[in-house]
């Protein structure tokens, strides 16, 4: 691969709903430009973009894939992103380094939620957007209706720059609106525009020219006075209007049949901005926060947007050069970790195929293998520089499952594999819950976790299982009570003796408070700490169902001891038993964790969300409207949150998002407490067996 300067680079992210044909379109681009000898198919599991074992198995994109496409003068770095929201980290990472976005729409399915979200994400980052309406060879497709739907659903001015010739199985090509004489069929042969389309194409051309003139007073004045612009003026106007996001160009075609590819590629080359035309990346240096534009003639700096673990080459680090150039063996510092790194070879990837290059220039995207310290979101730069780019921000994780090896002997083997997964995917998180004795894996959705566990199985060769996490219930008391317990044991020789009198009362301001009210030497003070420790032991074991006890004031006010047979251990046992017996008389109850849940949905779904909250024993804390969306704040028991992510996605067609955080503990209803106690008893019996 030859060397490219920033002026000749286009960094373009492919987004859209899962199944809209992004990867097939990329395959067609690679085939058209002779980077591959024949086109693969999703059904055959041989796409250049979807080579991971889980992708082949599931017939869908999971990883974002770098696919450089070289024309005569331009290098288009295609970043083929997953369509499923479960793998949003891949998409968000690519959007940090992209300079434009292509949204794919399945003509047979219409404008799905993936397209809506893609536009929303692109607008948040001020990235220009084009749309490719794909699969027009499918039955019952109507490009005109799709254009109408795009305008209605996306709320943007969507202007077609190409139009299909024929439909369904009779699709033979597309007309280029600005150059009808350049119309081709799927084999690249020139064909004439059908006579019944000529008038429509002329009308569409007027729309395109008007879009080109908008925003430029000189062009607009000429357009209205003369009714026409030169080809050069139209091209300049389109490029400016597109970069300023005044309209969305829409193209028609079928990636599978190689129809409509060339006109779209021509537009990407001519009108998509190069890295020098974009603002740059936010970060900090010695003077504070600032935006760092792409600058070819400064010392090297780069942002790491993705890390991939390859079974053959090890860790692969994907980066975008922001300033200067990266050459093999050049001195380099990881500013994020304040460590030196060594680069032996500079690479580019096309799917999984690696190619060594002489250097990667500013604005371009490259890959380095076997960096020992560098991970996603790190900054690499010349040791003389003091710049650090801001990390990519990801949404809050929404799903959590408990994972474990089916054989206890294999538990130790999964730790290293989990560490490798997290290095590759920053939206995965592992936590060891010592209280419930489980390893918790959290991520962006159920499918996200299933893929992670599938990869972990393949890496460790360990048979794994996923379970619903145990809830960290608590127990407490609701009224005062007092009592005593005598521990006495004689088995020949020195015995054991301790007697403890204790009062328990609810404590609202602390988990536990201990008071020593023994007077007159009934129990020597040197046993005070043993009595306190015995209370702690009882609280950890629970009263009703084995959950930790909180909110108790314990007062030891009397007791007895023996000069020979009393000991710390005897008083710990007596205190622990006294605590448990008295607690059973103190109105014990079980408390459950309550989450603050903030859900954001289109306004039309607010009623459904509120109804779902009620079914989960939750209550609404407040609602508000923000940017045409409804924000519902609610308090929901954690035990009722297990299926919330899946239900919200189903209820809103994937348009809803939520965040949750622990708020407080509340008593569980009586009937639910009975079930919790019964379940705990069964588990205890099973453990003993």
The reply to whether 455 and 363 lie within a common domain is no
User: How would DSSP label each residue in 479-538?
Assistant: S-EEEEEEEEE-SSSS-EEEEEEEEEEE-SS-SEEEEE---TTSS-GGGHHHHHHHHHHH
Contact between 80 and 14 (Cβ < 8 Å): yes
**Domain assignment present for 352:** yes
**Domain assignment present for 676:** no
Closest CA to 103 of 83, 86, 84, 125: 83
The residue among 66 and 213 whose pLDDT is bigger is 66
pLDDT in tens, 355-367: 999 999 999 999 9
The reply to whether 576 and 604 lie within a common domain is no
DSSP 605: G
**Domain assignment present for 688:** no
DSSP 138: S
**Domain assignment present for 105:** yes
Q: What CATH code is carried by the domain that includes residue 25?
A: 3.40.50.300
Per-residue pLDDT, 311: 66
* Mean pLDDT within 499-516: 96
Per-residue pLDDT, 492: 66
* Mean pLDDT within 114-118: 94
DSSP 346: E
Angle between helices 606-615 and 644-652 (to 10 degrees): 150
* Mean pLDDT within 196-220: 87
The reply to whether 180 and 273 lie within a common domain is yes
Q: What CATH code is carried by the domain that includes residue 484?
A: 3.30.230.10
DSSP 38: S
The reply to whether 105 and 211 lie within a common domain is yes
Q: What CATH code is carried by the domain that includes residue 617?
A: 3.30.70.240
Would the pLDDT of 689 be above 60? no
Task: Report the SS3 class of residue 72.
Answer: coil
Q: Which two tokens stand for residue 45?
A: 């599991």
Q: What residues form DSSP beta bridges with 389?
A: 283
**Dihedral angle computed from the Cα positions of residues 447, 450, 456 and 459, in that order, rounded to the nearest 10 degrees:** -80
Residue 223's pLDDT band, with cuts at 50, 70 and 90, is confident
Per-residue pLDDT, 214: 84
**Domain assignment present for 2:** no
The count of residues in the chain is 689
Per-residue pLDDT, 416: 78
Last residue of a domain, one of 332, 357, 389: 389
**Domain assignment present for 1:** no
The reply to whether 19 and 61 lie within a common domain is yes
pLDDT in tens, 16-28: 999 999 999 999 9
Per-residue pLDDT, 448: 94
* Mean pLDDT within 410-421: 80
**Domain assignment present for 273:** yes
**Domain assignment present for 689:** no
* Mean pLDDT within 190-202: 90
The reply to whether 240 and 129 lie within a common domain is yes
The reply to whether 68 and 155 lie within a common domain is yes
Q: In the chain, what is the straight-line distance between the N-terminal and C-terminal CA atoms, in Å? A: 66
* Mean pLDDT within 475-489: 96
**What's the chain's Rg over C-alpha atoms?**
33
Per-residue pLDDT, 313: 64
Q: Which two tokens stand for residue 199?
A: 């008038």
Number of structural domains the chain divides into: 5
The reply to whether 271 and 368 lie within a common domain is no
Closest CA to 343 of 369, 320, 361: 369
Last residue of a domain, one of 234, 259, 277: 277
The reply to whether 261 and 167 lie within a common domain is yes
The reply to whether 177 and 294 lie within a common domain is no
Q: From CA 568, how far away is CA 456, in angstroms rounded?
A: 48
Q: Which two tokens stand for residue 594?
A: 């309550």
Range of the domain at 500: 475-587
H-state helical runs in 584-633:
606-615
Contact between 498 and 559 (Cβ < 8 Å): yes
The reply to whether 13 and 159 lie within a common domain is yes
Per-residue pLDDT, 52: 84
Closest CA to 73 of 274, 300, 298, 348: 274
Closest CA to 228 of 220, 217, 239: 220
Share of the chain above pLDDT 90, in %: 72
Share of the chain above pLDDT 70, in %: 98
Q: Which two tokens stand for residue 194?
A: 């059908």
The reply to whether 118 and 247 lie within a common domain is yes
Last residue of a domain, one of 414, 449, 467: 467
* Mean pLDDT within 582-606: 96
Q: What CATH code is carried by the domain that includes residue 335?
A: 2.40.30.10
- 222 CB burial (10 A radius; 0-12, 13-18, 19+): middle
CA distances from 136 to 83, 96, 113, 250, 660 (A): 19, 31, 19, 13, 41
Contact between 595 and 645 (Cβ < 8 Å): no
Q: From CA 115, how far away is CA 132, in angstroms rounded?
A: 11
Per-residue pLDDT, 686: 65
Of 43-52, 304-313, 478-487, 652-661, give the range with the top mean pLDDT: 478-487
pLDDT in tens, 508-552: 999 999 999 998 889 999 999 999 999 999 999 999 999 999 999
């Amino acid at each position: 691969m030859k060397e490219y300067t920033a002026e000749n680079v286009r960094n373009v992210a492919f987004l859209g709903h899962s199944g809209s044909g992004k990867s097939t379109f990329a395959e067609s681009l690679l085939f058209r430009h002779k980077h591959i000898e024949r086109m693969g198919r999703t059904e055959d599991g041989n796409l250049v973009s979807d080579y991971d074992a889980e992708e082949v198995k599931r017939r869908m994109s999971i990883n974002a894939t770098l696919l450089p496409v070289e024309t005569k003068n331009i290098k288009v770095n295609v970043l083929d992103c997953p369509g499923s929201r479960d793998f949003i980290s891949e998409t968000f990472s690519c959007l940090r380094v992209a300079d434009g976005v292509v949204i794919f729409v399945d003509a047979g399915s219409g404008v799905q939620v993936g397209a809506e979200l893609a536009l929303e994400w692109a607008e948040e980052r001020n990235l220009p957007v084009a749309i490719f309406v794909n699969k027009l060879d499918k039955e019952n497709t109507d490009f005109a209706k799709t254009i109408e739907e795009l305008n209605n659903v996306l709320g943007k001015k969507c202007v077609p720059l190409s139009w299909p010739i024929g439909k369904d199985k009779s699709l033979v090509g597309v007309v280029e609106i600005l150059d009808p004489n350049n119309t081709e069929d799927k084999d690249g042969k020139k064909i004439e525009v059908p006579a019944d389309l000529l008038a429509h194409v002329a009308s569409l051309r007027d729309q395109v020219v008007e879009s080109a003139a908008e925003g430029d007073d000189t062009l607009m004045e000429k357009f209205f006075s003369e009714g026409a612009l030169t080809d050069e003026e139209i091209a300049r106007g389109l490029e400016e209007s597109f970069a300023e996001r005044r309209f969305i160009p829409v193209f028609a075609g079928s990636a599978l049949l190689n129809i409509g590819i060339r006109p779209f590629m021509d537009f990407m080359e001519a009108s998509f901005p190069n890295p020098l035309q974009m603002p740059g990346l936010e970060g900090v240096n010695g003077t504070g926060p600032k935006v760092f534009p792409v600058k070819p003639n400064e010392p090297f700096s780069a942002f790491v947007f993705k890390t991939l673990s390859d079974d053959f080459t090890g860790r692969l680090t994907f980066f975008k050069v922001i300033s200067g150039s990266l050459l093999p063996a050049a001195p380099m510092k990881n500013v994020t970790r304040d460590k030196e790194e060594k680069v032996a070879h500079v690479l580019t990837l096309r799917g999984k195929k690696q190619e060594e290059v002489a250097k990667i220039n500013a604005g371009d995207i490259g890959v380095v293998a076997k960096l020992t310290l560098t991970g996603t979101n790190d900054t690499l730069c010349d040791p003389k520089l003091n710049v650090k780019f801001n990390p990519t921000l990801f949404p809050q994780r929404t799903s959590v499952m408990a994972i474990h090896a089916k054989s206890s002997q294999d538990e130790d083997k999964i730790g290293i594999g989990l560490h490798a997964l997290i290095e590759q995917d920053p939206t995965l998180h592992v936590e060891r819950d010592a209280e419930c004795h489980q390893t918790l894996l959290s991520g962006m959705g159920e499918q996200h976790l299933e893929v992670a566990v599938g990869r972990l199985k393949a890496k460790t060769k360990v048979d794994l299982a996923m379970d619903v996490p145990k809830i960290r219930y608590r127990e407490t008391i609701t009224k005062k009570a007092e009592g005593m317990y005598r521990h006495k044991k004689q088995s020949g020789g020195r015995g054991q003796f301790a007697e403890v009198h204790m009062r328990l009362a609810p404590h609202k301001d602390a988990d536990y408070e201990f008071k020593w009210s023994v007077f007159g030497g009934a129990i020597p003070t040197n046993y005070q700490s043993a009595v306190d420790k015995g209370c702690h032991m009882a609280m950890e074991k629970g009263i009703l169902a084995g959950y930790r006890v909180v909110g108790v004031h314990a007062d030891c006010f009397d007791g007895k001891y023996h000069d020979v047979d009393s000991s710390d251990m005897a008083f710990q046992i007596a205190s622990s038993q006294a605590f448990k017996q008295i607690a059973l008389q103190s109105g014990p109850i079980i408390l459950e964790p309550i989450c603050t849940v903030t859900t954001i949905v289109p306004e039309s779904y607010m009623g459904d969300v509120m109804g779902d909250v009620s079914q989960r024993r939750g209550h609404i804390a407040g609602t508000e409207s923000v940017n045409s969306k409804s924000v519902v704040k609610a308090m929901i028991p954690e035990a009722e949150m297990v299926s919330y992510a899946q239900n919200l996605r189903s209820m809103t067609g994937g348009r809803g998002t939520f965040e949750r955080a622990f708020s407080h503990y509340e008593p569980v209803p009586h009937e639910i407490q009975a079930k919790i106690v019964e379940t705990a008893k069964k588990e205890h019996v099973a453990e003993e067996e």
